[in-house]
Structures are given as structure tokens and as C-alpha cells.
């Protein structure tokens, strides 16, 4: 990542990825979590950081983000979107300016079923989004911004689908919203919001295995995009992976 070794005077370019999923706490509650890697070199040796690395010369930006995700968790994204390019001069205090790195950051959603089976090791782990330690570089700010983007988009998209199976109950959907927004929602208001939104469709089926009045199963209308990317939607197919792999 250091450009100074070859005498270049341009900032280096890296791609990093904020990988969100929902995981079940010991209390049984679903909570928002993200995958981090422990740094094993300076600067910030020993601190946790977002997965990332240099962009290969023959690799698209979103492909580099998906590779980060795969190398870190062995998972494919349900949703992948560019977040922001972070390049402030002060993002690595104490480092030589010749070692400056501009990070193009993506954020990704992975399904909670898949995330439960994802790789964890001494140097790769899931952290609760609301209980992060001090991260390397400006990564706490990056996560804060990614959370803000996720929460904003959740309300006017079908992004919640990125965390769910194909069919789900309204209680499961509400659990996703509550985990992402970090607050409880009134079930009756939530039901009205979903009905008004129009992207969620009743399947006519009911949850199996429950004896008395099993809840209805719903699905998302696949013709509604996961999130509106405007003119970029058709340009970059990796932006929206759409349905489950």
C-alpha cells in the first residue's frame, strides 16, 4: 500500500468494505454485527480494522470489495454498494504523507444464516455494531457513516431483504428493522408501514411447524430494486446482487 518505495508522489488507493449482518445475542435478540480484521503491522498494529487492501490494476472497484468480503468471511454479498471515498490527510496520524492511502469504501449485507457459518479466527471476528472498540485509522467514522446510510436506506428500500430468507413473517421483518435501527417498533404501526410501502407481498402460505394460528409468510416483490441507484443501477451489476446465492 505504500507508494513511497517506488518514488511515486501520488496517494495510494485501497478498497475497504463494511460487512454488516444480523446475529443472535446470547439473550436471543437479533443485533447488527460487522466483520473486522486485526492488524498485524504498523500503523495501528494490533487494532481491529475494516477488511481491505490495494486495488488490483485489472479489477473493478466493486469486484475488489466483493473479494475483500470473500477473503474475510468466505461469503458472497447479498447487497454491495459504494459508500464513500475517505482520503483526508489526517486519517493516519503520525504516518508519513508519502504513505498516504485513499480508501474507497463499500458496504455490504450478508444473510444472517450464512454469517452464522462464516469464518472466525484470532484475526477475523464479528463485533456488535454498538459495541465497537477504538478501530485503526478513521474506521470508527467510516462505520458510523455506513450505519447512517444503512438506517436511512432501510426505510425507503427493500434492503431488509438482504438479511432475510426468501419468505419471512412480519415478526421476522420487524426484528430486522429493530436490530438495524436499534430500537423497538410498535407491531401495529410496523404492519401499517409495510402495507403502505407496497414492496412486501403476502405469499398465502403460513409458517410450518407452529401448531396454533401459524403466522403468514411474506416475500418481497422482486421487481422492486433492493435500493434505488438511479443511473448507476444498470451500469454496475455488482452493485445489487439482488436475490440470494
DSSP states of 45-63 as a string? TTSEE--EEEPPTTS-HHH
Site string for a copy of itself, 34-73 (x = CB under 8 A): --------------------xx-xxxxx------------
Q: Is residue 48 within 8 Å of 209, Cβ to Cβ?
A: no
Q: Which is nearer to a copy of itself, 144 or 205 (CB)?
A: 144
Residue 94 makes contact with a copy of itself by CB under 8 A: no
CA dihedral 67, 72, 73, 78 (to 10 degrees): -40
CB 156 to a copy of itself: min, Å: 11
Helices (H), strands (E): how many in the chain? 5, 9
Q: Which of 25, 53, 70, 88 touches a copy of itself (CB under 8 A)?
A: 88
Cell (9 digits) for 237: 451489476
Q: Which is nearer to a copy of itself, 97 or 201 (CB)?
A: 97
Q: Is residue 12 within 8 Å of 56, Cβ to Cβ?
A: no
Residue 134 makes contact with a copy of itself by CB under 8 A: no
Q: Which is nearer to a copy of itself, 164 or 227 (CB)?
A: 227
Residue 236 makes contact with a copy of itself by CB under 8 A: yes
CB 204 to a copy of itself: min, Å: 36
Q: Which is nearer to a copy of itself, 134 or 213 (CB)?
A: 134
CB 226 to a copy of itself: min, Å: 17
* Bridge partners, 82 (sequence order): 106
- From residue 69, give the alpha-carbon distance in Å to each of 58, 168, 195, 232: 18, 26, 34, 22
Site string for a copy of itself, 142-181 (x = CB under 8 A): --xx--xx--x-----------------------------
DSSP assignment letter at 168: B
Q: Which is nearer to a copy of itself, 207 or 224 (CB)?
A: 224
Angle, in degrees to the nearest 10, between helices 139-155 and 170-181: 140
Do the strands 12-24 and 101-109 form a parallel or antiparallel pair, or are they unpaired?
Answer: parallel
Residue 202 makes contact with a copy of itself by CB under 8 A: no
Q: Which stretch binds a copy of itself (CB under 8 A): 71-79, 112-120, 188-196, 232-240?
A: 232-240
- From residue 100, give the alpha-carbon distance in Å to each of 22, 32, 68, 197: 33, 31, 20, 44
CB 68 to a copy of itself: min, Å: 15
- From residue 124, give the alpha-carbon distance in Å to each of 66, 98, 139, 220: 16, 29, 16, 32
Which residues lie near a copy of itself (CB under 8 A)? Answer: 3, 6-13, 54-55, 57-61, 82, 84-85, 87-89, 97-98, 100, 102, 104, 141, 144-145, 148-149, 152, 230-232, 235-236
Amino acid at each position: 500500500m505504500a507508494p513511497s518505495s517506488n518514488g511515486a508522489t501520488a496517494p495510494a488507493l485501497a478498497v475497504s468494505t463494511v460487512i454488516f449482518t444480523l446475529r443472535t445475542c446470547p439473550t436471543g435478540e437479533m443485533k447488527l454485527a460487522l466483520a473486522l480484521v486485526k492488524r498485524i503491522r504498523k500503523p495501528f498494529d494490533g487494532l481491529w480494522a475494516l477488511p481491505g487492501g490495494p486495488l488490483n490494476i485489472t479489477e473493478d472497484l466493486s469486484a475488489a470489495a466483493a473479494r475483500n468480503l470473500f477473503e474475510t468471511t468466505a461469503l458472497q454479498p447479498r447487497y454491495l454498494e459504494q459508500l464513500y471515498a475517505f482520503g483526508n490527510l489526517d486519517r493516519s496520524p503520525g504516518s508519513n504523507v508519502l504513505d498516504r492511502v485513499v480508501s474507497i469504501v463499500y458496504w455490504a449485507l450478508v444473510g444472517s444464516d450464512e454469517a452464522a457459518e462464516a469464518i472466525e479466527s484470532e484475526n477475523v471476528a464479528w463485533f456488535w455494531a454498538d459495541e465497537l472498540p477504538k478501530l485503526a485509522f478513521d474506521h470508527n467514522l467510516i462505520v458510523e457513516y455506513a450505519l447512517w446510510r444503512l438506517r436511512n436506506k432501510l426505510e425507503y428500500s427493500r434492503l431488509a431483504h438482504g438479511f432475510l430468507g426468501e419468505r419471512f413473517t412480519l415478526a421476522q421483518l420487524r426484528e430486522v428493522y429493530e436490530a438495524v435501527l436499534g430500537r423497538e417498533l410498535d407491531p401495529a404501526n410496523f404492519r401499517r408501514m409495510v402495507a403502505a410501502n407496497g414492496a412486501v407481498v403476502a405469499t398465502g402460505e403460513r409458517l410450518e411447524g407452529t401448531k396454533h394460528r401459524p403466522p403468514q409468510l411474506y416475500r418481497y416483490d422482486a421487481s422492486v430494486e433492493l435500493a434505488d441507484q438511479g443511473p448507476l443501477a444498470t451500469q454496475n451489476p455488482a452493485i445489487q446482487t439482488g436475490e440470494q446465492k
